Amino acid sequence: MQNDTLKRRSFLNYLLGGGVIAVLAAIGFPIYKYLKPPKIPEAAESQVTAGTLAELQAAEGRYKIFRFGRKPGIVVLMPNNEIRAFSASCTHLDCIVQYRPDLNVLWCPCHNGKYDLTGRNISGPPPRPLEQWVAHYDKASDNIFVSKGEGA
Ligand code: FES
């Protein structure tokens, strides 16, 4: 009789222990998945099309945002009609930078960070220069191709 009670009690303890583990797993797994975001592969392509020169000339502010894999990029039509490309991700907190022809700078609207037209951080909180990419204009297709250049 007492042996039966012990068996029942240990069986109930076993069930309760399993239930507690299941509840902890049901709560902990979603938290773990939230805190550890999935890996997104880096862009496989070494060159992307940032648009056409006609689009860039027609764009307000003479700049265009494009995607290079999972990173945003910016192509800018300089006052001398040279085309330059940069990572558009501000080095402070990753806001998207814009070209401000009135100030002749690349400008981050989030905290008023400024970069000169070589991508060098010149004012505000950005700690590092913007990554400069290589822009190549193909006259035949009117396309602007951007690559990260050698060693990038
Ligand atoms: S995110 Fe660009 S200045 Fe802060």
| 141 Cα to the center of ligand 1, angstroms | 35
Write down the domain spans for the chain: 1-38, 47-147
| 57 Cα to the center of ligand 1, angstroms | 27
Q: What is the pLDDT of residues 104-115, one digit of tens each?
A: 999 999 999 999
d(CA 63, CA 59): 6
Supply angle C-alpha 78, 106, 77, rounded to 5: 20
Identify residue 74 by its one-letter amino acid code.
I
Residue 96 in contact with ligand 1 by CB distance below 6 A = no
Q: Are 106 and 115 in contact (CB under 8 A)?
A: yes
Q: Name the one residue in this structure whose structure tokens are 């330059």.
A: 84
Instruction: Give the predicted TM-score (pTM) of the model.
Output: 0.72
CATH architecture for segment(s) 47-147? 3-layer Sandwich (2.102)
Instruction: State yes or no: pLDDT of 136 exceeds 50.
Output: yes
Q: Per-residue pLDDT averaged across 62-72, rounded?
A: 94
Mutate to test the pocket of ligand 1, among 74, 90, 98 (most ligand atoms within 8 A of CB): 90
Q: What is the pLDDT of residues 14-51, one digit of tens each?
A: 778 778 888 888 998 888 888 876 666 665 678 999 99
Q: What is the pLDDT of residue 53?
A: 95
Class of residue 146 by CB neighbours under 10 A (exposed 0-12, middle 13-18, buried 19+):
buried
Q: Which atom of ligand 1 lies nearest, measured to the CA of 125? A: 3
Q: What is the pLDDT of residues 80-111, one digit of tens each?
A: 999 999 999 999 999 999 999 999 999 999 99
